[in-house]
Amino acid sequence: MMTKIVVVGGGAAGTGAATIAIQHDRSLSVTLLTEFEDIAYSPCGIPYVFGREIEKFDGLFMQTPDFYKEMGLDVRPCTVVTRIDMGERVVYAGEEKFPFDKLIIATGWEYDPPDVPGTDLGGVEYIKNIRRAMELDKQLDQVKRAVVYKAKPLGLELISALPHRGIETHLVDEAPWLLSDFADPDMMKPVQDSLEEMGVKLHLGTKLLGFKGQNSRLSAVETSDGEIPAEMAFVATTMKPATALAQSIGCKIGSTGAIVVDDHMRTSVPDVYAAGACVEVMHGLLKIPIQLLPGSYAYPMGKIAGYNAAGGDRPFQEVFVPWGIIGGKVQVGGALISETIAKAMGMPYMVGRATGITAARYYPTHEKMHVKLLADPKTHRVLGAQFAGGDGVKERADFMAFAIRKESTLEELATMENVYSPPIGALNEPIALAAQAALRDAAAKK
């Protein structure tokens, strides 16, 4: 009898799960259900189309549903799951029934709207669905002033993009600095300066009070710092795991509000797997569960879930969370943890700082690279890293996440090998300079 796998969710995790399952075992029946028209597109690219760094939305679509059907998947777009009957082992989408032997939940995330008046006004927008984003892109040509609420990654991308369309752009956030959840204020200062040079008006430490409108359309954003006239507001507020379906069948929900899974992406309910932004996974250094990781985690999580649901045996590793983004014209990134997090958790730490360059000093495109390392003051094991500057932030963040995974020390980083080639690498690697600075400071205190 053919084994049936049903995947709920057509994002990175769901697509990864379905494709790897059918590739692992062609005899399976694999059905992918998604509420949206499209699957396998890159929502992370939406702000860059808004800003015209990417010319069209076409490039954000990776494949059509027909591509996956040709692989042997039964793809059902525009299909909203209404309930799951574990006794019958059937997923219901209205009157449609999808029987399963194994179920993979990849329902992703949903916005947690701010509890203020006016969130239902026209012009108050949330970025998630690419079709809606395509409609908004046309409207932006008529927008003179826009407000972005929350300086989280999406908010930072939006305030970096909208000025390219000639839009007067404001950011409102209660936090005292950008990306305050995982970056330090000193490392975000170059980003803040760059945004202000672009004309972005930053209202940090400012509370959102509500959205005001005329004729059911947004006219202004009300804040503790006054009223900001605007034709459009983007709410880039806190996201939360979409767990309603999982909870309805008894899946255990963890301390973060996401679905608890083991290292094989199995939930607490037999034959039910979960992956992506709806699950929590273990941070390898802090040994605490975290959730809402980006697509670079959702896709491999989905592949693990799909492989194991199809009869495989493969674990998902603990995470060390490299991150990166461009704010204004400055690249910024790192590998958790930050000094802010270390202080909040009461962790002892030492700091090493340095400013190097991204290419040879005489090469015309060289830029500064600010580096901040955190390490254990006794063992000198590296705990975290942050970077701000020119090209190479992403690669350094990836490298440092791996170095932290391997329990590298300041001594090892201080003597690390590095590429020296005038267009792409300076004689002295900025990471090594920061490690050397930390060791000098430690020696001076003895």
In the 3-class helix/strand/coil scheme, how is the chain assigned residue by residue? CCCEEEEECCCHHHHHHHHHHHHHCCCCEEEEECCCCCCCECHHHHHHHHCCCCCCHHHHECCCHHHHHHCCCEEECCCCCCEEECCCCEEEECCEEEECCEEEECCCEEECCCCCCCCCCECEECCCCHHHHHHHHHHHHHCCEEEEECCCHHHHHHHHHHHHHCCEEEEEECCCCCCCCCCCHHHHHHHHHHHHHCCCEEEECCCEEEEEEECCEEEEEEECCEEEECCEEEECCCEEECCHHHHHCCCCECCCCCEECCCCCECCCCCEEECCCCEEEEECCCCCEEECCCHHHHHHHHHHHHHHHCCCCCCCCCECCEEEEEECCEEEEEECCCHHHHHHCCCCCEEEEEEEECCCCCCCCCCEEEEEEEECCCCCEEEEEEEEECCCHHHHHHHHHHHHHCCCEHHHHHCCCCCCECCCECCCCHHHHHHHHHHHHHHHHC
- Whole-number average pLDDT of the chain: 96
The answer to whether residue 335 scores a pLDDT higher than 80 is yes
377 and 388 belong to one structural domain:
yes
pLDDT in tens, 63-96: 888 888 899 999 999 999 999 999 999 999 999 9
- Residue 392 structure tokens: 């190479």
Percentage of the chain modeled with pLDDT above 90: 93
326 and 432 belong to one structural domain:
yes
pLDDT in tens, 191-225: 999 999 999 999 999 999 999 999 999 999 999 99
C-alpha distances in Å from residue 88, one per residue of 91, 92, 97: 9, 11, 10
The answer to whether residue 336 scores a pLDDT higher than 90 is no
CATH number of the domain residue 409 falls in:
3.50.50.60
Number of domains in the chain: 3
Q: What is the mean pLDDT of residues 93-122?
A: 96
37 and 99 belong to one structural domain:
yes
Query: Which of the pair, 42 or 380, is modelled with greater confidence?
Result: 380
195 and 264 belong to one structural domain:
no
152 and 201 belong to one structural domain:
yes
225 and 279 belong to one structural domain:
no
Q: What is the mean pLDDT of residues 88-105?
A: 98
186 and 201 belong to one structural domain:
yes
Query: Residue 209: what residue type?
Result: L
pLDDT category, 62, cuts 50, 70, 90? confident
The answer to whether residue 423 scores a pLDDT higher than 90 is yes
Q: What is the mean pLDDT of residues 187-191?
A: 98
327 and 398 belong to one structural domain:
yes
Domain boundary among 237, 253, 286: 237
Query: Could you give the strand order of the β-sheet that contains 330-335, starting from the edge strand earlier in sequence?
Result: 322-327, 330-335, 382-389, 368-375, 350-357
Domain boundary among 309, 340, 361: 309
Rg (the chain; Cα; Å): 23
Domain boundary among 217, 237, 257: 237
326 and 305 belong to one structural domain:
no
Q: Which domain holds residue 354?
A: 322-445
194 and 228 belong to one structural domain:
yes
417 and 436 belong to one structural domain:
yes
Output the pLDDT for position 325: 97
Output the pLDDT for position 237: 84
pLDDT in tens, 280-332: 999 999 999 999 888 899 999 999 999 999 999 999 999 999 999 999 999 99
pLDDT in tens, 236-266: 987 899 999 999 999 999 999 999 999 999 9
Whether 284 is in a domain gets the answer yes
Q: What is the mean pLDDT of residues 18-38?
A: 96
Whether 314 is in a domain gets the answer no
pLDDT category, 399, cuts 50, 70, 90? very high
Whether 115 is in a domain gets the answer no
The answer to whether residue 40 scores a pLDDT higher than 90 is no
Output the pLDDT for position 39: 86
Whether 334 is in a domain gets the answer yes
